[in-house]
Structure 1
């Protein structure tokens, strides 16, 4: 099954997310989280290290800085 179908977006929308034309919607983030059991922050921040407890009160560091 194609990744776009798994997260309920069109191939065109997925391509635009991959090209950083826009960020994934809340619904896409939740679909990725549920299907792949990821940290909820991962689709938003990628591999950056999050410090501070939650996504609303935190500092973000590049993983190479830690």
Structure 2
């Protein structure tokens, strides 16, 4: 089993947010070249870079620094979720507020059936 590196986890956050290196590095406050080297594990990020990634992308600092024990789960905020849940949350965030409310109402209706 391949162990995911810190650089790999940074890249995963970027990919989950559907961003290219230029846009991601701009949000974090570093150059694209620096981001490229971080993702390739050429060097370790500073504390300031870690804080920026955690703040900008609501990443879990423990997962970012240490990884997670289950390859099928991702950490969002303080909660560990599976692949489907993570995809759902990422898509849900892209909806307008009234569409989000509609989805929540639909889920509540479905749950009442059970």
Q: TM > 0.5 between the two?
A: yes
The TM-score with structure 1 as length reference comes to 0.63
The whole-number CA distance in structure 1 between the counterparts of 2:66 and 2:29 is 21
* 2:73 aligned with 1:27: no
Of structures 1 and 2, the larger Rg is shown by 2
Structure 2: 5+ residue stretches without partners: 1-21, 72-114
Q: How does 1:1-66 map to 2 (within 5 A)?
A: 2-46=23-67, 48-49=68-69, 63=70
The whole-number CA distance in structure 2 between the counterparts of 1:26 and 1:33 is 10
Considering fraction of residues, name the structure with more helix: 2
Considering fraction of residues, name the structure with more strand: 1
Q: CA RMSD in A?
A: 1.8
Aligned length: 50
Runs ≥4 residues deviating over 3 A: none
